[in-house]
Amino acid sequence: MPADTSNYYKTIRKTCLTANTVYLVIRLFYLVLFLIAKFYILAIVDGVSVLLYSFFYFVIKKRKYYIYALLCGNEFFAFIITTTVMLGFGSAFPFYLIGLCIVSFFTTYFQKVKNFKGSILWVFICVTIFLTTYLITEFNEPYYQIEKWLERTLFITHSIIVFTFVCVYMLVFVRYATKLENKIMNESRTDELTQINNRYALYDYLGAEKDKSSLTLALFDIDDFKSINDTFGHVTGDMILKRMAGVATDVLEESFVCRYGGEEFIIVIKGEKEDVRDKLEELRKAIAKEVFEYKDAKISITITIGAVAYSDEMPTERWLELADEKMYSGKKQGKNRLVF
């Protein structure tokens, strides 16, 4: 199972197990409360709920998360209707319906196929039950008469539980969404083939640099790379690009290196002109020494580098154009050289 899928299911499983444990504890609390208050019918109903939530651990273990959410939601509906009719709307059991609305969208979000029609239907059912139980208790006396202090206690307790419930679910969602957002952002800034920065990361990097006065931008590509692809194939060409990216990041470990596109790479390096020149020459020589093997053939490559130091208020596009001009000047001069 891929790591991403594994983390996806771990998040769902952990959330379901935690939620089920909380629900079970709440049901046990109600069971004790109903027995103390001598609400025996509600105690029997709640006892059945305790057994159900104990069984739900088995459902979660089998990774039937959607079925778990469905069973859990319907059990809540039955429990809320029963307790509200028997204890009155003032007991605030219908407040749980607010939490169920959150769960319905949360569950849909974590499904592979996201169909929010089910969530909207679920919310409609919650609102209908909320209003129906209110009307029923308005025109009918509750089955059990509870003292005012107990009604207030239930109201406050349910308010706290529901708000906590909503906050926890939203916290889990925000944390997961943030991780996902960071992952997408990272992938969108990483070249798929070489696993180094891409052109979008370059613009981010340059945009974040407030002081560019000590920066040099170098553009280089592989000399006669088309003939390598034509002779040995694109698989070999891809292997060379990956190896070259590795050499560049090793030699220029403190500099920004990215694949700009095709066989073109860009380096943004800090330092004095002579130091930068020495570093870029070191890179050119290191790549020239590399020997790439294809079947029985040994392939050597060279690169041509064009480098331009930053000058005041130079737009990024112009900076790239100047480096490109320098590189092509080197190509015309015989290739395998640095033009600064």
Together in a domain, 148 and 254? no
What is the distance between the alpha carbons of residues 106 and 267, in angstroms, rounded to a whole number? 44
Helix (H, G, I), strand (E, B) or coil at 270: strand
The percentage of the chain sitting over the pLDDT mark of 70, rounded to a whole number, equals: 96
Pairing, β 215-222 against β 256-261: unpaired
Together in a domain, 184 and 293? no
What is the distance between the alpha carbons of residues 13 and 9, in angstroms, rounded to a whole number? 6
How far is Cα of residue 261 from the mean position of the Cα atoms in its chain?
26
Together in a domain, 237 and 160? no
pLDDT of residue 1: 45
- How many other CB atoms sit within 10 Å of the CB of residue 315? 8
- How many other CB atoms sit within 10 Å of the CB of residue 189? 17
Could you report the per-residue pLDDT of 5-34, keeping only the tens digit for each? Answer: 566 677 778 888 988 998 899 899 999 989
Task: Please name the residues in contact with 174: beta carbons below 8 A apart, sequence gap of 6 or more.
Answer: none
Together in a domain, 111 and 219? no
Could you report the per-residue pLDDT of 276-319, keeping only the tens digit for each? Answer: 999 999 999 999 999 888 777 889 999 999 999 998 878 999 99
The angle formed by the CA atoms of residues 240, 242 and 198, to the nearest 5 degrees, is 130
Together in a domain, 212 and 96? no
* Residue 37, Cβ density class (10 Å: 0-12 exposed, 13-18 middle, ≥19 buried): middle
Together in a domain, 293 and 221? yes
Could you report the per-residue pLDDT of 44-60, keeping only the tens digit for each? Answer: 999 999 999 999 999 99
- Segment 56-64 long-range contacts (CB within 8 Å, at least 24 positions apart): 56/20, 57/17, 57/20, 60/13, 60/16, 60/17, 60/20, 63/9, 63/13
Together in a domain, 168 and 210? no
Residue 247 binned pLDDT confidence (cut-offs 50, 70, 90): very high
Helix (H, G, I), strand (E, B) or coil at 213: coil
Together in a domain, 10 and 156? yes
Using the 3D structure, point to which of 188, 205, 238 is the last residue of a domain.
188
Lowest pLDDT segment from 56-65, 124-133, 248-257, 329-338: 56-65
CATH code of the domain covering residue 315: 3.30.70.270
Query: What's the farthest any 2 CA atoms get from each other in the chain?
Result: 98
Residue 175 binned pLDDT confidence (cut-offs 50, 70, 90): confident
Question: Two tokens at 153?
Answer: 């206690």
Using the 3D structure, point to which of 125, 153, 188 is the last residue of a domain.
188
What is the distance between the alpha carbons of residues 160 and 163, in angstroms, rounded to a whole number? 5
Task: Please name the residues in contact with 221: beta carbons below 8 A apart, sequence gap of 6 or more.
Answer: 262, 263, 264, 265, 303, 304, 327
Using the 3D structure, point to which of 188, 215, 245 is the last residue of a domain.
188
More confident residue, 8 or 323: 323
* Residue 234, Cβ density class (10 Å: 0-12 exposed, 13-18 middle, ≥19 buried): exposed
Together in a domain, 223 and 330? yes
Residue 215 has pLDDT above 50, yes or no: yes
Could you report the per-residue pLDDT of 71-101, keeping only the tens digit for each? Answer: 888 898 999 999 999 999 999 999 989 888 8
Domain count, the chain: 2
Please, which residues bridge with residue 163 across strands? none
Q: In terms of Cα–Cα distance, which of 80, 85, 77 is closest to 143?
A: 85
Q: Number of C-alpha atoms within 13 angstroms, CB side, residue 239?
A: 14
**Domain span at residue 249?**
197-339
Together in a domain, 180 and 203? no
Read out DSSP for 81-110? HHHHHHH-GGG-GGGHHHHHHHHHHHHHHT
Together in a domain, 28 and 92? yes
pLDDT of residue 113: 64
